[in-house]
Structure formats: C-alpha cells, structure tokens
Structure 1
Amino acid sequence: MARDVVFQGVKFAEAVAFLRRRQLLTDTEWLRLLQDVTGEVEVIVADQRGQMQRDLIQAVIDAMDGGQSFADFRSSYDEIIKRYGWTAPGDPGWHSQLIFRVNTSNAQNAGRWEQSQRLKRSRPYLRYVTVGDHRVRPHHREWHGVLLLADDPWWKTHYTPNGFLCRCHVQSVSERDIERYGWQITDPADPRLAIPPDDGWEGNVGMAGMAIGAP
C-alpha cells in the first residue's frame, strides 16, 4: 500500500529530476511527447489539470526529496485540492494514493532508465524483474529474468511500468553479474518477447522523460 512507502531520506536524483521536468508539461503535452518518442500512448491519471497538477507533482517531489511518507503527501494533497476547491473523484484516499503511486513509479523507472543509459558501457544489459508475489500479473511474470542489451528495441515498448500500478522494474547488469549469477542472455526468438504489455502501456517513460526539454 502507498501508505507504507517512506523514502527514508535517500535522494534518487534522477527520479526527482524527472518529476521536475514532467512538472513543466500538461497531461496532453506529456502524452504527445511519449507518443512522439515511443510511438505509443500510456494511460494517465485523469483530473490533473493546470496549476493544481503542478502543485500535486511538487508535493510528490517534496516527499521523494525529503524522505517523507505517503501520510505526509496525503496532508499536502488535502491542502492542495481544498485550495483549488476541487473534489476528488470517488474516495479521496484512493485518489491520493493513485496520484502518489503513479508519479513515484514513473519517476523511479525514468530515473533508472537515465542511470542505465549513463552506465551502459560498463553495464550494457538490462534485466526485467518482478516483485515475485501472487499479485504479479501472469504475463508480467513471464518476463521475469528477460535479459537484453540496454539498446535492444524491446525496451522501447516493454520498459516498466507495463500496466496500471505495475510494480515491476528493470535492473542494470554487467558482464560480471551475468557470470556471477549464471544468467542467460535472452534469445531474440524467445516467445516471451512477443507478449504485449497491458493495453495503452507500450511505451518507455524513461525515454520520454529524457526528451523533455531536449532540442
């Protein structure tokens, strides 16, 4: 649950930087950029508009940057929607968790992508990793352990998240890691690679994030 999330004072610089760039765009602009970069469009959280949207993202940034918990974000969320005279659709607790989880997931995955691109000379591979519990979607479970070069086109459509509130992530891997753990590089003909992500999630939030503000 989102209420259990605490960032423990660790500043994930690339994730926070992604949110600061994302904060500059409207939802429409973000979706257009994601489509331009990856050729696909992701599902977004509705009802985030204008300055209120930017203020909500800033509250997520403050939580990530300051080691705050979801409870701290919820307090800011309540103050922000009250200030704008806005009513959350459905249960405010559910909606605030949705805003928090979607934005932190996108930020963390985008940050990992940026790190992986910077480190790919020494860590040239990416490996798909699921949480491993009973809640993992069956087709996401199929991808666990997929190991491909960081530049493989599969990551353009299958980089995490790959669905609504997807908890999967991708780890950067070196040749030494592969030897140490006995992993196998995934064959291009592996049928798992043909399994599509959830509808509307065939994109790469990291590629889109790095394109914000790029010439």
Structure 2
Amino acid sequence: MAGVQGEYRFPGSPPKEALAWFRAKGYQPGFDYRDVWKEQHSHAFTVAKAMKMDVLTDIRAALDQALAEGKTFEQFQKELTPKLQEKGWWGKQDVVDPTTGEVINAQLGSPRRLRTIYNTNLRTARSAGQWQRIQRSKRVMPYLVYELGPSEKHRAEHVSWAGILLPADDPWWQTHYPPNGWGCKCRIRQVGQREYERLKASGDYLTTAPAINTKSWTNGRTGEVLQVPRGIDPGWDYNPGMHQGKGLAENEQRSKTVMDKALAAPMPKPEFQPQKTTKSATKWATDNNLADYADYAGIKPEVANAWNESLFDHLQEFPALRDNQKFIGTGQAQFQRLYDIRVERVVQMATEKGIDEGLAIRWAKREIKKKKVPGDTYAHSWTQPDVGGIAINKAWGKDPERFKLALANDVASQHHPIGCSSIRSVVDHELAHQIDDLLKLDKDPEVQRLFTQARQAGIENEVSRYANKNIKEFIAECWAESLNNPAPRHYARRIAAIVRDRYRRQFGSGSE
C-alpha cells in the first residue's frame, strides 16, 4: 500500500494449493517463536504467546478468510482486533512462560504484530502452494530463477542471490526458497528450457549454486548452537512446500503437552500505561491500536499521555470510534501527513501516465497546499478518510503549564464548563465530536431540544459560553463536563445519557 512501509498486497483469490496447504495444518501453541521450528511450521499453525486455543483459532480463522477471499491487511486487522481485545489478548501484559515458569511482560496483540502475522502466513502459504505447482510442472519448466520482491530495502545477501538460475531439484532450494526471513518479499519464477538458455547466454544469471556460508547462532530457548546460512533469519532456512505432513502425530502430542502447561486463567483486559517519553507514548498509541498512525513529536509526554489515556478509555466504551482513528498526535504532523499522502497520489497517477517522476513531484508540491493550524486553537477533531482523528496544536502541547493555566482561566470566565481545566478534558471534548460524527447526535431531536432549552435558560451558566457557538460545541462541552466535573450539571448529565443510549441502540453494549 502506498505510503505504508512493509505493506504487501495479496489481491484476489489464492491458488488452490496455497489454501489447501494452510488448511492442512494442525495446531501448535508456542510461547516463543523459537518453540516451533523450521519445517514444523509446514504442518502446525502457531502464534507466539497465543497459548489459549480460542485465541489461536480466532487468528487462524481470520487468516484463512483473508487468504481465501484476498482480504487486505486493513480488512484483516479491522475484523480480528475486536475479537482479540474481547479475549484480553492485546497490549503488553505479564504472562507466564509455561516452559520456564518465568513471568514476562510481553507484547500480545498489536497492529505491528498483526501485520507480521498476516504477511508471514499469507506469504508462506502462497510460497508453499507455488512449490507444489512447480513439482507438477517441472518436466515442462524445469528451472527456477531467484528474484527480488517489492521491498524498499533489500538485504545484501538477497541482492547477491537475484538472478540465480538453477534446476528445480537443486538442493540449494531446500534452504534458500523464499521467504528467507521476517519481512522478506523475494520470489521465485519458473522457466522452461528455451528461456533458461536465453537467460544463461545473457551472462547475467548464475547457473551454479553458490557456496552456502553459515554463521553460528544459539537458540536461547534450548541452548542448541546451530549453523544458519548467512542472509537467512534463524528458523527460515527451509522450504515450506517440502515438509507438510511429516511428524504430524508427534506435533499433535507436543501441542497437548504445551497446552497442559499453559495458564488456565483468562488474560486480563489491557490497561492504560502512561509513558515517560514522547517517543514511547507515540509507540504505545500504535502498539495498543489507538490509531493507525501516531506522531507526537514536539510536545511533552504529559500531553501525549493525556491524549492516549482519553482515547484508550473511549475506545473501551465505544469501540466503533476506532474506524475513524487514522491519526493521533499534533495537528501540524496530521496536516503534513495529509500533504504527503496527496502528493504521493498525484505523483503516482502522473507517472502511470508516463510523466517524469521528478517533474510530477515538483508540480505536486507546488500545487497542493498544506493546511495550517491556527495559533489560538488548542486542538481539533477531524473526520477525514486518510488522517481522521484528534490532534493537539504543538504550540500548546509543548508547554503543559501554559496550557493548563489558559484552561483554568477559560473555566473561571465560563468559556468552558466547570471541571474542564485539565488537558484530559480537552481530549474528551474533541472525542465528543468524534462521537457526534459517529452517531449524528446534532440531528437527534432530543439533543436539539436540549440545545434550545439551554440557550433559553442562559447557556453560559448552564454549560459554557463556548457551548453557545453551535449544537456540535454544545454536545462536546456537555460530554467533557460529564467526564470531568465531579458533580455534572443537568445538561451534561442528559447529553451523556443520550450518548450512551444512542450508542447501545446502534452498536450494542460496547465494552459491557
């Protein structure tokens, strides 16, 4: 996907061999990726630290559907994430290693892990399916060419293997058949005798298997010292299409042994964890699926934590809000990201029409205007397909004390509601706009009646002066007060009740 590093598309239905290979696997729970090794992956489905079968089967079912229907990673993630969160398999948690008994603070589900799970399983299945087709057709097309895939940066060894042209039965393919590591997108192309002769004559292809240089690697789980081919990640030096069916009975028994050691108690629900640095707060936001993309650069950790905590709490109660959280961070970074996306799209369309890329870039950067954050704006909410979400003005986020003083003055002057002098209250206000957009509350007759009544009763005394601006700000101000005033007033209580009622009607019970 353009603009997302490491993304890889698997469009359309897969070859039937790939799907059959994936569906023929058994299960092998494993706490660590080194617990299930090399060719064991060909006959056993596993996800590190997915020790409970309901979690493992949910992940496998989602992958099966993604493979069978050609679903994108975004579709896979959107459908699977709520199931894993409901089962408590999400975020960083203290879990017990059933092999050692050690308590480890481990990363369970996260967008980054789901991307790895999706790419690894679908790429390996398609590779194994291709190998089966190679075996059926090698009498007609007996040679294989190693080619680089669409990675932005290739490993030096993989670059050196590009153009290796060998018989399909050459032993080199037993260890070097791609994928050859985490994130590897290298591929194989099958060729016939005529093309083989033409490629060989060009002098650009290597028709003799190169020597396999190895390095020592110690498996920290077993203590075993292994010789791993250079350029291949440990555990990836095998051909997945060669080994399915071997050792299946042994694997099933091993699965039962590991499961007997697994924790019986359900895993706890994820909890908000404040971070000490802005960088770690940024990572925490994406690792815990608050948004597709985060960028808090230039603001203080206190502000980033307030943003994360409010969104985290809202998503627990209103999971449907997640669909619009494409971005969280500063407004400046949000507008920059939108600008970059729009430039990239224009350049891509131009180059597809044959226009020089450099010329297209210069034209796009000149014609596309970047939005600016008004200096007096604290924050904003945006429902936008590419970068929708809530953002803080960096000018305020970099100075929390100045920010809080300004908020205190706003409350004292009735510009904002009672209790809304904290940074967290600002985030709650912006998320109310997201809730409003989701539920169309500004069109709700009961909300409209309350807005009219509040104006007639003196809205600056009943809610705030800012609530008088329009019905959307009335909703946001009431919601923020309901969460931050220890004794919310009439209109804050009524709007909060309507929010929860309308959400339940449309989406069910939320986190309950």
| Band of TM-score, shorter chain | 0.7 to 0.9
Does 2:143 match 1:143? no
Equivalent residue number for residue 144 of structure 2 = 126
Retained in 2: the 8 A contact 1:155–1:204?
Answer: yes
Q: Which amino acid counterpart does residue 163 of structure 2 have in structure 1?
A: G
Q: Which residue, out of 141, 144, 155, partners 2:173?
A: 155
Q: Call closer, same or farther: CA 1:203–1:19 in 2, change over 3 Å.
A: same
Aligned pairs for 1:30-49 within 5 A: 31=36, 34=39, 45-49=47-51
CA distance in 1, matches of 2:21, 2:83: 21
Q: Call closer, same or farther: CA 1:12–1:151 in 2, change over 3 Å.
A: same
Q: Call closer, same or farther: CA 1:74–1:12 in 2, change over 3 Å.
A: same
Q: Which residue, out of 178, 182, 189, partners 2:196?
A: 178
CA distance in 2, matches of 1:94, 1:145: 32
Tell me how far 1:36 sits from its aligned partner.
Answer: 11
Q: Which residue, out of 9, 14, 17, partners 1:14?
A: 17
Retained in 1: the 8 A contact 2:145–2:164?
Answer: yes
Tell me how far 1:8 sits from its aligned partner.
Answer: 3.5
CA distance in 1, matches of 2:111, 2:20: 27
Retained in 2: the 8 A contact 1:123–1:174?
Answer: yes
Instruction: Give me the CA root mean square deviation.
Output: 3.1
Q: Which amino acid counterpart does residue 177 of structure 2 have in structure 1?
A: Y
Q: Call closer, same or farther: CA 1:27–1:177 in 2, change over 3 Å.
A: farther
Retained in 2: the 8 A contact 1:4–1:69?
Answer: no
Tell me how far 1:19 sits from its aligned partner.
Answer: 1.4
Tell me how far 1:7 sits from its aligned partner.
Answer: 3.8
Q: Which has the higher strand share?
A: 2
Runs (5+) with no aligned partner, structure 2:
92-106, 215-228, 250-512
Equivalent residue number for residue 405 of structure 2 = none
CA distance in 1, matches of 2:167, 2:239: 15
CA distance in 2, matches of 1:65, 1:86: 25
Q: Which amino acid counterpart does residue 100 of structure 1 have in structure 2?
A: Y
Cα deviation digits, residues 106-162 of structure 1 (max 9, x gap): 111111111111111111111111126551100111110111111111111111111
2:208 is paired with a residue of what secondary structure? coil
Q: Which residue, out of 227, 235, 239, partners 1:200?
A: 235
4+ long deviations beyond 6 Å: none
Retained in 1: the 8 A contact 2:41–2:240?
Answer: no
CA distance in 2, matches of 1:60, 1:7: 12
Equivalent residue number for residue 132 of structure 2 = 114
Identity of aligned residues (%): 31
Equivalent residue number for residue 410 of structure 2 = none
Does 2:28 match 1:26? yes
Q: How many residues align?
A: 204
Does 2:81 match 1:78? yes
Task: Decide which structure has the larger Cα Rg and report it.
Answer: 2
1:148 is paired with a residue of what secondary structure? strand
Greater relative contact order structure (CA < 8 Å, 6+ sep): 1
